[in-house]
């Protein structure tokens, strides 16, 4: 693994208590991702894919090992430092969308730039919304959207501030095939235009095949995906 990788996980382990049993979700995981790369992580439900993403985003802390983004050890940051760092450098796409129901779609998309003090032109939000097929929905609230529409709004929010790293948890899971292809095309464009990286967890083999490489998470270990 190169020392200048955008994202590095070095011997990262994470376990959880389940009754009297300790479940090792991640077991000495090593992972590196460079700018301009797209990586898919596959695995069964409950295999720890979402835990890996949360650790990469600094939303969870490993029991051992080190997680670094842009050379910054996330374990050395305290809240709210890690929150600000994450907001500036990472675009997060959650499986459950995490839209703010009291805000319109437009305001949800504009939320991260507003939080980090970065101005985004209305035309940029409209252009991204048009690409994702949600331009007519910008004035609606999340409760008025279908699951697929919420997913596309969440993807727009993750990309609008041009992050260095996109972390996506089943980003095509709620989408029809055409919408899924549009999202993956947008990831490709972001990698080309911004030299960012994409780390995506998915059950979708076709989506994984669109990435540069794919790994399988099984019993806490990462292996080449077959």
Q: The domain spanning residue 44 has which CATH number?
A: 3.40.50.300
First and final CA of the chain: distance in angstroms? 22
How large is the greatest C-alpha to C-alpha distance in the chain, in angstroms?
Answer: 55
Look at residue 54 and tell me if it is in a domain: yes
Give the residue numbers spanning the domain of 60. 7-101+162-224
**How many structural domains comprise the chain?**
1
Mean pLDDT across 69-92:
93
Look at residue 11 and tell me if it is in a domain: yes
pTM summary value: 0.93
Say what the pLDDT of residue 191 is.
93
Inform me whether the pLDDT recorded for 1 exceeds 50: no
pLDDT single digits (tens) 6-56: 999 999 999 998 888 888 899 999 999 999 999 999 998 888 999 999 999
Look at residue 148 and tell me if it is in a domain: no
Environment class of 40 (CB within 10 Å of its CB; exposed 0-12, middle 13-18, buried 19+): buried
Find out whether 153 and 105 touch, Cβ atoms under 8 Å: yes
Inform me whether the pLDDT recorded for 147 exceeds 70: yes
Look at residue 183 and tell me if it is in a domain: yes
Query: Please, what is the average pLDDT of the chain?
Result: 92
Inform me whether the pLDDT recorded for 200 exceeds 50: yes
Look at residue 141 and tell me if it is in a domain: no
Look at residue 205 and tell me if it is in a domain: yes
Look at residue 166 and tell me if it is in a domain: yes
């Amino acid at each position: 693994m190169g020392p200048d990788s955008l994202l590095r996980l070095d011997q990262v382990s994470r376990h959880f208590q389940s009754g009297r049993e300790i479940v090792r979700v991640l077991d000495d995981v090593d992972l590196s991702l460079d700018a301009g790369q797209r990586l898919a992580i596959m695995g069964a439900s409950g295999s720890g894919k979402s835990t890996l993403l949360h650790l990469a985003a600094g939303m969870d802390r490993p029991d051992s090992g080190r997680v670094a983004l842009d050379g910054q050890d996330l374990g050395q940051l305290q809240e709210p430092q890690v929150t600000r760092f994450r907001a500036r450098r990472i675009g997060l796409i959650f499986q459950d969308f995490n839209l703010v129901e009291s805000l319109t779609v437009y305001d949800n998309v504009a939320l991260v730039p507003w939080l980090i003090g970065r101005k985004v032109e209305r035309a940029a939000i409209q252009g991204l919304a048009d690409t994702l097929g949600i331009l007519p929905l910008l004035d609606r609230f999340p409760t008025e959207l279908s699951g697929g529409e919420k997913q596309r709004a969440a993807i727009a929010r993750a990309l609008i501030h041009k992050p260095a790293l996109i972390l996506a948890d089943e980003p095509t899971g709620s989408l029809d095939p055409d919408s899924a292809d549009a999202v993956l095309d947008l990831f490709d464009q972001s990698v080309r235009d911004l030299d960012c990286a994409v780390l995506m967890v998915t059950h979708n083999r076709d989506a994984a095949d669109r990435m540069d490489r794919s790994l399988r998470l099984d019993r806490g270990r990462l292996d080449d995906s077959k």
